């Protein structure tokens, strides 16, 4: 029997060597499917370091905006898009036949939950099927859309291998969880550590090499399943801890204890404690949704995710708690909720951004309107809002003075809270935005 060891060089497929060289010298033609909060910032970072980037999106408005050199994402500057388009480093199209020209593709499409709390993978499947039509050997495909462990191998790999190509030999497949935090001035795409795991070690190596050209820190892991689980752990950790402090807020409210003071004091402990803060509910595309991918997948494995389900229930009840808080505050001031004018301060899902996806403000508005309140709102980042038949425009912050009750749902930094305290008749503060202010007309979460 021949026991001669195979040299590492001989075991590396030619497709790997060729693509690795293209990545190293930045001649690889990069593609991004989905030009939203994840895809566009990544496309810009890749373009900045010299890659030629093609963005694909089914929304014509996004394609037109990019090709005109205009950004529609708050964290991406118009100047960056304009310069890259002018330099020929960035273009956008809705024509998926360009996949035939590309060397790498990042899939950054939505992965929402259905009403039954199971993952809706239709956008990922649709993107993969489009890629498969024009797929060719030597490509690197990276899924970034948050999903359940096993998606990359179970959904993408079979579709890409159906014509006889083999992952890790003829093409390369990875998963890398997006970690975008809209509105975060300190951590953005280029300096948020990037986790990547491939279906084989060579896939991981190529994914690592690709991201390392544009991003400061890349963290390789042993498999796509590990990388998929990383994102779910991160957001499940946050969701559960937020659920804990939301439950604590309800307890403290019943006991007459200031929950914000409790958390602030506990946070002075230099070890063993990390502060999380209560609020009107969870918002954004990640924290309210991602843990349920894990819950759904764990049920398939015969494990009940009790912490996740309980935290999800508690967080889901917070808009109801806020609506009750508003109604009780009005009662204490001898006014019924029905026909009262309620002014909502902030409708974005968090401060200083324009994103209303899964915003708890939408639930609070719906609940108060259902109980008969007249609703107006102010938000410097969201000029118009269409919700449940209510077509509203943002009002000047001075409109709060005319309301029977003001509810601070999102604590944007640009709001003059001192003026709000002086002018408003009654305020329900769900974000501790009025820390340092006092008065009988202030009701805290």
Q: Which of 366, 377, 365, 367 is nearest to 412 (CA)?
A: 377
SS (H, E, C) 42-91: HHHHHHHCCCEEEEECCCHHHHHHHHCCCCCCCCCCHHHHHHHHHCCCEE
Query: Per the residue annotation, which of 128, 203, 252, 286 is the catalytic one?
Result: 286
CA angle, 251 then 274 then 303, to 5°: 75
Answer whether 324's CB lies under 8 Å from 240's CB. Answer: no
Distances (CA, A) of 15 to 133, 136, 167, 208, 438: 20, 11, 11, 16, 67
φ/ψ (deg, to 5) at 144 = -115, -15
Q: Of the candidates 316, 378, 392, 387, which has an alpha carbon nearest to the alpha carbon of residue 347? A: 378
410: tokens are 């999102």
Taking the CB of residue 2, how many other CB atoms lie within 10 A of it? 3
State whether residue 443 is helix, strand or coil: strand
* 318, β-bridge pairs: none
What strand order describes the sheet that includes 405-408? Answer: 374-378, 341-345, 405-408, 427-429, 442-444
| 321, 388, 146, 173: CA torsion to nearest 10 | 180
286 is catalytic: yes
Contact 233, 46 (CB under 8 A): no
CB 433 within 8 A of CB 419: no
153: which DSSP letter? I
Dihedrals phi, psi of 180, to nearest 5 degrees: -70, 135
Of 268, 265, 420, whose CA–CA distance to 345 is shortest?
420
Q: Which residues pair with 440 in a beta bridge?
A: none
> Would you say 278 and 259 are in contact if contact means Cβ atoms under 8 Å apart?
yes
Give the Cα separation of 72 and 232 in Å (integer). 28
**Residue 245 to residue 239: CA distance in whole angstroms:** 10
Please list the active-site residues.
286
């Amino acid at each position: 029997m021949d026991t001669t060891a195979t040299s590492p060089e001989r075991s590396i497929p030619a497709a790997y060597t060729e693509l690795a060289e293209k990545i190293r010298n930045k001649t690889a033609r990069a593609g991004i499917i989905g030009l939203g909060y994840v895809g566009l910032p990544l496309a810009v970072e890749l373009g900045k370091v010299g890659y030629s980037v093609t963005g694909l999106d089914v929304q014509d408005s996004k394609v037109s905006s990019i090709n005109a050199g205009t950004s529609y994402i708050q964290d991406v500057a118009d100047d960056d898009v304009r310069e890259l388009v002018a330099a020929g480093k960035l273009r956008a199209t809705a024509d998926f036949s360009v996949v035939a020209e590309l060397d790498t593709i990042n899939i950054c499409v939505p992965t929402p939950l259905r009403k039954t709390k199971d993952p809706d993978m239709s956008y990922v499947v649709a993107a993969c099927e489009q890629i498969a039509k024009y797929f060719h050997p030597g490509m690197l495909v990276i899924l970034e859309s948050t999903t359940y462990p096993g998606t990359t191998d179970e959904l993408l790999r079979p579709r890409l291998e159906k014509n006889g190509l083999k992952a890790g030999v003829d093409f390369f497949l990875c998963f890398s969880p997006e970690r975008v935090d809209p509105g975060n001035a300190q951590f953005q795409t280029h300096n948020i550590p990037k986790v990547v795991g491939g279906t084989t070690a060579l896939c991981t190596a190529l994914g690592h090499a690709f991201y390392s050209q544009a991003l400061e820190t890349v963290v390789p892991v042993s498999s796509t399943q590990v990388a998929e689980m990383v994102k779910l752990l991160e957001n499940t950790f946050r969701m559960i801890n937020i659920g804990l402090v939301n439950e604590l807020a309800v307890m403290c409210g019943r006991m007459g204890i200031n929950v914000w003071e409790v958390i602030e004091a506990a946070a002075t402990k230099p070890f063993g404690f990390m502060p999380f803060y209560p609020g009107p509910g969870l918002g954004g595309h990640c924290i309210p949704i991602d843990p349920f991918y894990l819950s759904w997948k764990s049920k398939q494995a015969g494990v009940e995710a009790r912490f996740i389900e309980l935290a999800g229930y508690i967080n889901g009840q917070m808009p109801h708690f806020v609506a009750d808080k508003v109604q009780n505050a009005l009662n204490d001031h001898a006014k019924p909720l029905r026909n009262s004018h309620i002014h909502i301060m902030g409708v974005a899902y968090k401060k200083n951004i324009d994103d209303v996806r899964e915003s708890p403000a939408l639930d609070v508005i719906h609940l108060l309107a259902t109980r008969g309140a007249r609703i107006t709102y102010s938000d410097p980042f969201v000029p118009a809002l269409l919700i449940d038949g209510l077509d509203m425009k943002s009002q000047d912050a001075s409109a709060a003075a005319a309301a029977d009750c003001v509810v601070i749902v999102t604590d944007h930094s640009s709001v003059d809270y001192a003026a709000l305290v002086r002018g408003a008749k009654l305020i329900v503060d769900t974000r501790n935005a009025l820390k340092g202010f006092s008065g009988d007309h202030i009701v805290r979460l």
